[in-house]
Amino acid sequence: MMQQLPRHAQYKDSGLPWVGEIPAHWQTRRNRFLFREVDRRSTHGEETHLSMSQVHGLVPSEHLGRKSLQSANYAGGKLVAEHDLVLNRLKAHLGVFARAKQGGVVSPDYTVLRPKGDASVRYCESLFKTPMYVGEFRRRTKGIVEGFWRLYTDDFYNVMALLPPPEEQAQIVAYLRAQDAHIARFVKAKRDLVALLTEQKLRIIDHAVTRGLDAAVALKPSGIEWLGEVPAHWEVVSLKHIADVRFSGVDKHSHDDETPVRLCNYTNVYKNDRITGDMDLMRATATAAEIARLTLKAGDVILTKDSETPNDIGVPAWVPEDLPGVVCAYHLGLLRPEPARVLGEFLFRAIGSARIARQFHVLATGVTRFALGKHDVKNAVIPLPPTIVEQQTICRWIDEATQPLDEAMARAEDEIKLIREYRDRLIADVVTGQVDVRGWQPGPDDIVGDDELGALGEEEAEPTDEEDTDDDA
C-alpha cells in the first residue's frame, strides 16, 4: 500500500526553532510573499454559500444541512474564487484552513487569501494543518477568551512557510492524494463492516424487545400494524403510562444568578449508549427548578427530540447511576421510568430498536429542522413484559448476544482511528521535508476520484467553525 520513503540527502537549519531542519534545497518565505488577502463582497448574496469544517473542508452549506446556514442572507459575505485559501480567523489555531474547490460566498469573518508567486495552495493547505504550524498560529492569535481568539492577516503574513521548488510541491500534492486513495478505501471498508455489524445487532435487539426470548411463546396481535404480534402475556403501553416525560430547555450559556452544572447534551447522547460521570461534559449553569427537574438519576433514559434529519430523532441513551450535578440539556427529552413498571435499561433497549424508533421518525415534523413534541413522546408505544425480572433477563441476554458484535465494531473503529493518525503523521513528514517523495511514481491503484476521497470526511470529528459562529453547536 505505502512504501518506505527515504530521507533527503542533505538538510539545513530552517532558522525556525519550532521547525528545525529542512531539506537543503528548500526555502523559507513569509506568507506575505505567497498570499494576498482579497476582500470582495457579495451585493445580493445569491452566490453558492460555502462553509468550512475541520473534516470536510470548504463545501456548500447545503451539504452540511444546517438550518441557520440555509436560511441566512449572504449579502455582504466575502466572495471566494476557485483555488483561494480560506481560513476562519476564529479557528486558525485549530488548523481550519481549506482550499476553495469552487467559487462562492463565505462568512465575513473568514479570511480569503489568493496565492501569488510559487506557492501551491494544495501544498500550503496541508502544511498549515500540521501540528507545528497549528502551534505557531496559536501563538500568534489574539484575544482574551479562547472562543474569540483571532488570527489577523498581518500575523498570518509574518509566519514563515516552508517552500519546496514548484515541481516538488506538485509531487508532494500528488503523492498525498494517492495515499489518501488507499486510506479512503481502507476507511470505507471498515465503515461498511461497522454498518453490517450494527444492522445485525439491531435485528437481535429488535426481536428480543418485541418477541421475547422464548421461541415457543404464544403470540397475540398487538393491534399496531408496524409492530405485528407480541407475546400473549405482554402489554402494549404508551410511554406516558410507564415514564415521566420531561423536555429540557437548559442551554450552554451561563448566568451569574444560576448554579454551575455539567450538561449532558445532544452529542453525548447521540454518540454514546450510556451516560456516565466520567464523560467529558460541557459546563454551564442552571436554575434551581431546572436542577430539581432535570438532574440525571439511575434508570433515566435520554433521547434526542430534534435534529436536522428525522432519522436522528429519538436516539436514546441510558443513565446507569445517579449523576449529581449533571443536567439534561436543550434538544433532549428525559424519560424517568416508573420503577415498578419498567426497567430503565429495558426502556432504553426498546426505544432504540428499529421498529419502535420508526414511530419517532414518522412523528417528527419540520422543514429544515425536525422535532418531536412532548405529546408525541408521551403517546409513543412499546411492547412491555409484565415483570421487571423478565425485562432484566432480556437485557442480560442482549448484552451477551451482542458483545462479540460490539467488540468487532470497536476493533474496526480503533483501526480507523489508527489509520487516521498514520495519515496525519505522513502528511506532516512529507510537507515538512522529513521524507523525500521526488522518486515516487504513481501506480494504477493510486488514481482516485473526489467521491472516493469522501470516505475520509464522513464523520465530523470536531464541531464546524460555522456551528460556533452561529451559536448552534
Residue with cell 402489554: 235
> What pLDDT, on a 0 to 100 scale, did the predictor assign at position 90?
77
Instruction: Tell me the C-alpha distance between 264 and 280, whole Å.
Output: 9
> Which residues fall within 8 angstroms of residue 204, CB to CB, at 6 or more apart?
398, 401, 402, 405
**What would the grid cell of residue 88 be?**
476562519
> What pLDDT, on a 0 to 100 scale, did the predictor assign at position 470?
34
> What pLDDT, on a 0 to 100 scale, did the predictor assign at position 150?
85
| Sign of torsion over alpha carbons 60, 64, 69, 70 | positive
Q: Label the pairing between strands 332-337 and 243-247.
A: antiparallel
Domains 11-174+457-469 and 213-384 share a fold: yes
- The identity of residue 457, as a single letter, is G
* Contacts by residues 66-70 (CB-CB < 8 Å, ≥ 24 positions apart): 66/308, 66/466, 66/467, 66/470, 66/472, 67/308, 67/368, 67/369, 67/472, 68/466, 68/470, 68/472, 69/466, 69/470, 70/368
**CATH number for the segment(s) 213-384:** 3.90.220.20
**What would the grid cell of residue 231 be?**
407475546
> What pLDDT, on a 0 to 100 scale, did the predictor assign at position 117?
80
Instruction: Tell me the C-alpha distance between 248 and 201, whole Å.
Output: 30
> Which residues fall within 8 angstroms of residue 408, CB to CB, at 6 or more apart?
193, 197
Instruction: Tell me the C-alpha distance between 133 and 154, whole Å.
Output: 16
Q: Which CATH homologous superfamily contains domain 11-174+457-469?
A: DNA methylase specificity domains (3.90.220.20)
> What pLDDT, on a 0 to 100 scale, did the predictor assign at position 54?
66
Q: What is the pLDDT along the chain (473 residues), one digit of tens a residue?
A: 456 889 999 999 999 999 999 999 999 999 999 999 999 999 988 899 998 876 677 888 776 654 444 445 788 999 999 999 998 887 766 778 889 999 999 988 899 999 998 889 999 999 999 999 999 998 998 876 555 688 889 999 999 999 999 999 999 999 999 999 899 999 999 999 999 999 999 999 999 999 999 999 999 999 999 999 999 999 999 999 999 999 999 988 888 889 999 999 999 999 999 999 999 899 999 999 999 999 999 999 999 998 878 888 899 999 999 999 999 999 999 999 999 999 999 999 999 998 898 888 888 887 767 888 999 999 999 999 999 999 999 999 999 999 999 999 999 999 999 999 999 999 999 999 999 999 998 887 777 666 666 666 655 433 333 433 333 33
> What pLDDT, on a 0 to 100 scale, did the predictor assign at position 245?
96
> What pLDDT, on a 0 to 100 scale, did the predictor assign at position 310?
80
pTM for the predicted model, two decimal places = 0.81
Residue pair 382/358 in contact (Cβ under 8 Å)? The answer is: no
Instruction: Tell me the C-alpha distance between 212 and 131, whole Å.
Output: 52
> What pLDDT, on a 0 to 100 scale, did the predictor assign at position 253?
85
Q: Residue ranges per domain, the chain?
A: 11-174+457-469, 213-384
Phi, psi at 296, each rounded to 5°: -75, 135
